[in-house]
Amino acid sequence: MKSIRRALPYGRQSIDAHDIKAVVRALKGPFLTQGPAVKAFEGAKYCVAVANGTAALHIVVAAVGLKKGHSGVTSPITFLASANALVYSGIEPLFADIDPQTVNISPKALSLAIRKDTKVIIPVHFAGRPARMKEIAAIAAKNKCFVIEDAAHAIGSRYPDGGRVGNCAYSAMTIFSFHPVKTITTGEGGAVMTNDVKFYDCLRRLRSHGVMRDPALNRKRGLGPWHYEMQELGFNYRMTDIQAALGLSQLNKIDRFIARRSKIVAKYNAAFKDIPWIRPVSVNDKFCAYHLYVVRVDFNRLGISRSAFMKRLLDKGVGTQVHYIPIYRQPFYRKNFGISPAGFLEANRYYDECVSLPLFPAMTDRDITKVISAVTGLA
């Protein structure tokens, strides 16, 4: 247990005195929830802040309004929430294999995975690298599908055209996560971006029990500010002002956080470039905000198992993680949807080789050297 406590984690929040003061101010203010800090944090015209990234995924799929009998496609190399959001709404989850170079969903595999009943596509910007959205949007348009971007990893990333991920140039809605290991954090938290006012109004209702207090949108008019109407079944997915206050403070540091992450990635890449048994996933990607630093390791060539590799690094004070176990391998998905791993050649290869190394802005140069020495010392 001692080695686990002193080991560098794969990711961690970066909190300073300004963040703490911002939260204390919120705690001393008149609102702890449903107050002005949430609206200030949302900032953009059609942004809806919610309790966490999973809640964001849930309500965007619900807002599309699909019925049972429809299906949706996402990447198998992502956290469970990307697919679970489909299941929550009674939509059958389908998966498309990945591009081995980016670990994002492959447009070619996506075209093959889509069925006649497919109505939604959820591309995931893995590790912060944007998926090939222009191609994915064209495939979606051809098949009359909604596109929902899972940008939980991609806060601050840009598309090749220079636009910020989240501008919804290629999608109906985009979600973000503000979990502590993400680019910025609100503790827990999430948000949805859209350019469609109808989706925006629906998302606001869904995050708060389906209730609407806007007199212009309610059926009964002129009853006063006390009147509210529940027009559909919603959820309690509201973000607190405490979370929003932390998020506002973190937003002021986002460029610095991304710059530090990029510097760490550059040091890693330079150290590992001539090692034959290790291959970084993220190399020379100017559009990526670098949420994760994943390497693909030839464990056979190295002569040890992944578990042994991770244990040896932990013994040297370096924590690691696996991102991710393919969703189709999870017992729930195998049992309920009968998905065979055989159809995902690249995802299986990736899973057999992947390990995430520490990457977070608070890492010191000494920490970086520690990680590099621990990894290169395994040969």
Domain boundary among 251, 272, 303: 251
Do 246 and 262 lie in one domain? The reply is no
Per-residue pLDDT tens digits for 222-279: 677 788 899 899 999 999 999 999 999 999 999 999 999 999 999 999 999 999 999 9
Please tell me the predicted confidence (pLDDT) of residue 100: 95
How many structural domains comprise the chain? 2
What does the buried/exposed string (b/e) look like for 149-178 if buried means 16 or more CB atoms within 10 Å of the residue's CB?
Answer: bbbbbbbbbbbeeeeebbbbbbbbbbbbbb
| Structure confidence at residue 212 as a pLDDT band (50, 70, 90) | confident
Instruction: Read off the DSSP letter of residue 58.
Output: H
Domain boundary among 233, 251, 269: 251
Do 207 and 261 lie in one domain? The reply is no
Do 148 and 261 lie in one domain? The reply is no
Domain boundary among 186, 217, 251: 251
Indicate whether 363 pLDDT > 90.
yes
- Please identify every residue annotated as catalytic: 182
Do 114 and 236 lie in one domain? The reply is yes
Cα 194 to Cα 203: distance, rounded to the nearest angstrom: 10
For residue 271, what are the domain limits? 254-376
Do 247 and 275 lie in one domain? The reply is no
Q: Is the peptide bond before 324 cis (omega within 30 degrees of 0)?
A: yes
CATH number, residue 205: 3.40.640.10
Average pLDDT over residues 58-63: 98
Indicate whether 220 pLDDT > 70.
no
Do 183 and 72 lie in one domain? The reply is yes
Share of the chain above pLDDT 90, in %: 90
Do 83 and 193 lie in one domain? The reply is yes
Do 109 and 238 lie in one domain? The reply is yes
- Per-residue DSSP letters for 160-212? TTSPBTTS-SSSSEEEEE--TTSSS--SS-EEEEES-HHHHHHHHHHHBTTEE
Do 154 and 243 lie in one domain? The reply is yes
Per-residue pLDDT tens digits for 281-324: 977 788 999 999 999 999 999 999 999 999 999 999 999 999 99
Per-residue pLDDT tens digits for 117-150: 999 999 999 999 999 999 999 999 999 999 999 9
Do 246 and 283 lie in one domain? The reply is no
Do 230 and 279 lie in one domain? The reply is no
Average pLDDT over residues 89-114: 97
Do 40 and 138 lie in one domain? The reply is yes
Cα 81 to Cα 44: distance, rounded to the nearest angstrom: 25
Nearest to 101 by CA among 279, 273, 288: 279
| Structure confidence at residue 2 as a pLDDT band (50, 70, 90) | very low
Cα 358 to Cα 259: distance, rounded to the nearest angstrom: 16
